[in-house]
Structures are given as C-alpha cells and as structure tokens.
Amino acid sequence: MKNHSLDFRCIVALAAVVFFLAMPIRSSAAADGVSKAPEAEAVAGLLKPRSLTREPDPVVIQGKEIPNARGLAIDGFRVYAHRDGVTVPIPFDFNERDEDGDYVLTQGQKPTKGTGLVADASELAYMAHDTGDRVSASSLPGGWTKAFEIETADPLNDRKGWAYLLHFGKDAPPRSSDDYVSITEVDEPDPFTGKPYVVIQGKYFYGRNIKNSPIFYHLRGTKEGGYEEKSFSDHFSTRSRMKIMGFVPFSVDETSIWSETPAYYDGSVRFIRRINLKILVGKVKIPTGIVIDITGYDLLANVPIKIKIPSVVKAISRDAWASYGLDLNSEAAGEYTFYSNTHPEGIPITGKNDPEGKSFGFDKKELVSSKDYWSIITGPYGTFMRRHTTPAEIEEGGVRQYSTFVDDLDEEYAPEYEKGQVGNHLTWLEVQNAPYGLINMNSYVYYPPHFKYPDDVQTYLNVLDNPITSSVTEVGRSGMR
C-alpha cells in the first residue's frame, strides 16, 4: 500500500514542476508588424507582403508534412524569411523523435541519440512572429538543393506569413544568431534558499529554479519587457492531499519531490526538458515511473501533466486533491491585480483579506471550466498568465477543476519563504472520482511583455482557441510551385 500512495503523491504533484522549466527569450530582430506594401512592391521577386500579426504562436511542422524530405540530413537545413526587402535566416529547431515517439535529446547526463535524418515524426519549429513576405525563388539564397515554402495563416482573418526551409549540401550557410531560450546552472548556493539553482532567463523574463526541485522563485520581468526588475513572487507551490481509509489525512508538498533532468535540448526557439519525478522519503528517492517532456517556446511553455492513480490507491483513498499555483511576495502587495474569466473586473492584490470578501479559499473554491478558464496576475514587475486544459472525456470521467485566491499576509501557506499569502492563486484538481490509471492533461503558461489588460488577453487565448495553420509546398528554382 505504501508504495502506491507514494506513486500517487508524486504524480499529482507533477503539475507544478513543469511551469517554470521553460522561460521566454524574444529576439530584437523579430518582425512586429505587417510588411509595408510600398516598400515591398519595389523588391524584385516579392509575390505578397506579410500580413500575419500573431505574436506568441510557435509554428510546428512534422517531418511527414514536408514533401520529399524524408532521409535528408537535418543539419543541412536552414530557415529564411523575407523582411524589409531582405531575405534573412531566422532561428529554428529541427528535432528528432525515436520509435517510441519520444524526443531525441542530445544534452544532459543521459543524452539520447538519433539518426540525424528527417523522419515522419521529426519536428521543425520556429516562431510565427519571425515569418515574412512571400517571394519567388530568385529572392532566396543560392546553393540550396531543395526548397520548401511554408505558409502560415490566422484562421480568424486569413492573414498570412511565409518562411522558406532550404536544404544545402555539405556547406550550409550560417544559422541565425538569434537565440530565444537560455538556461544557466549555478552551483553556488543562493542566499535566499541556501541551495544551488538554475537561472532561467529571457529577454522579457527572469526566474530561478532550485536544482532537482519543482520550487521556482524570484520571478520578475525585464526592462525590455516594460517592467521594473524586481521579484514579485514568493515561490511556485505544488501540493496534494487525501484521506486514507476515509479518515487518516495524508499530504505532500513541493519539498518532498525530487525532479531529475536526465536529458534536455536547449535550442534556438525552444528547449525540451525531460523530467523524471521521484518522491523523497527522508534521503531515499523512490521512483514513480513517470517521465514527461516539457517544451518551452519564445513566449509560452507547453507542459504535459500526467496523473497516475493506481487502483489500490483509489480503493483506499477518499477526498483526493492536487493543487498548484503561484504565491506572490510583499513587494507585489498594492502593485498587482488578479484577473480571470470568472473575475474579469480584476481583484486588487493587497495582502489583506478585505471585508468585501474578495478572497476565496478552499472552502469557497470556484468550479471552473477547463475549456474556458484563464488567469492573469499583472503589475509593474512582470506578467504571468496560465491555463490548464483537461480533455473533455477526462472531465466527464470525474476530474474536476477549481480555482482559489487567497490574499492575506496573516494566513500562512507553509512551506514558504515569506510568511503569508499575497494573491496566492491555486488550481485545484479533484481526482478522487477519476478512473484509475494514467490521466493526461496540459498546462500552458505565458509571459506577455508590455502587457495591457484587457486588450492583450485574446492574443494569448488564441494560441489554443484559434490555432494558426501551416502548409508546406516544395518549390523549384524557376517558380514557387
């Protein structure tokens, strides 16, 4: 029984590990607007100016979508876009997957190896904000052996942008020097936590993650993102609790979780970090058998959440819950506001449980729809937006999602670095009535720069609600089709 309980604890706690293992970096060279038609018309070879205005969306193309590319050497590819009258390389990543569908990750203590060749499951990734104009083959760099035009469209308005995937022989030209992700391990202990940590830094975001732990802290924006460089967070928490045999309380928190990263890929537009979770019992690390790959892009992270409920645990447990969320610090009190689709008017974060009852803890938790729910905390030191998506069949199977918001410096939420709760917004998952076995969900976190509420909200909701579409066409030297 004991091992099963530990397995349950670790898996329900998984949700929080993942949010902060991928942070954004935004290149200053990214195209922010629509190409100017008068200038574009003067450029030889231009067929249609870029009109796409999608900002946070990644473009992800599978190998099977690229005609006649199977078997080509991945390191021979480059991606280009035509902007401001010039065809330039843009940052991209081209990742392999193995026969089990897992990413081939070439860095870390236990890297994996691939063939180096394009296969059906391989993935090309770049950012929609880097796309450019549509041009003829004469506007592309010389020396390529195969060329592919990738058209990306916004389903809301049919605005489009283009990129060109070129394959070269042995002497491929230099890649773009832009790099949108950055992770640095620091072996010296952080004075704040007393432990070694990982700096996860982007052009618009900065944060620290305790090594081999889900604890993420010291979150802040950057000057480039329009923010003051001051931490607004205490730390990111993950908890689970249940009653064994209906009356014996049992709980676990983020300090009891050991998260290993055996392999990872730190690319130009995204990184993929493999997480292997274990439960700490004293100094003993007990494996759970759960491994996930977290993918972080320019302005967002996509996090698979796996909750494994063994049949034995389900039989002996009652009132089983998992929660995760971000507690802010006293610097944020009086400076930040909480918004969600259920509270679009906003709740000022003050650190005081005001008499109007704007806080709502577990006893007043709100049942929310996975499909519709979103939340944002925003202020002068950075913005943090997140969504949790549960497939409809999983919700119908018994998993329920709730939201709580506690804003009271006098109410502890131990373990914590600063006493009290400041705008502590938690997502609660009721899993007691879920079917036993493995449950797959997703969490998404966004880091908007220069954020304006409510104007910018839909921009980030569209990533999931109205996803961009892309199509690939092989082109010849005499024309684009």
State pLDDT tens for residues 149-190: 999 999 999 999 999 999 998 889 999 999 998 888 899 999
Q: Calculate the average pLDDT of the chain.
A: 87
Contact assessment for residue 87 and residue 142, using Cβ atoms and an 8 Å cutoff: no
Q: Per-residue pLDDT for 36 more than 90?
A: no
- Report, at the CATH architecture level, how domain 2-23+183-450 is classified: Distorted Sandwich (2.70)
Distance between CA atoms of residues 10 and 288, nearest Å: 7
Mean pLDDT of 70-93: 97
What does the domain layout of the chain look like in residue ranges?
A: 2-23+183-450, 37-179+468-475
> How are beta strands 216-221 and 317-328 bridged, if at all?
unpaired
17's enclosing H/E stretch is helix 14-17
Distance between CA atoms of residues 433 and 385, nearest Å: 28
Amino acid at 462: N
pLDDT of residue 242: 82
pLDDT of residue 402: 96
pLDDT of residue 11: 37
Q: CB 448: neighbour CB atoms within 10 A?
A: 27
State pLDDT tens for residues 52-63: 999 999 999 999
Q: Per-residue pLDDT for 8 more than 50?
A: no
pLDDT of residue 68: 96
Contact assessment for residue 473 and residue 127, using Cβ atoms and an 8 Å cutoff: no
Q: What is the DSSP string of 18-87?
A: GGGS------TTS--SPPPHHHHHTSTTEEE-------SPEEEEEGGGSTT-TT-BGGGEEEEEEETTEE
246 pLDDT tier (thresholds 50, 70, 90):
low
Residue (of 410, 417, 328) closest to 377 by Cα position? 328
Residue (of 443, 25, 405) closest to 221 by Cα position? 25
State pLDDT tens for residues 365-375: 999 999 999 99
More confident residue, 387 or 250: 387
Mean pLDDT of 22-35: 37
- Eight-class DSSP state of 344: T
pLDDT of residue 7: 40
437 pLDDT tier (thresholds 50, 70, 90):
confident
Q: Could you give the 3-state DSSP secondary structure of residue 224?
A: helix
State pLDDT tens for residues 251-290: 889 999 999 999 999 999 998 989 999 989 888 999 888 8
Amino acid at 223: K
pLDDT of residue 32: 39
178's enclosing H/E stretch is none
Where does 136-222 show beta strands of DSSP type E?
Answer: 144-153, 160-168, 183-186, 197-201, 205-210, 216-221
What Rg, from alpha-carbon coordinates, does the chain have?
A: 23
Distance between CA atoms of residues 337 and 286, nearest Å: 40
Q: Per-residue pLDDT for 111 more than 60?
A: yes
- What is the Cα 125 distance to its own chain's centre? 14
- Give the pair of three-digit tokens for residue 9: 């604890």
Q: Per-residue pLDDT for 456 more than 90?
A: yes
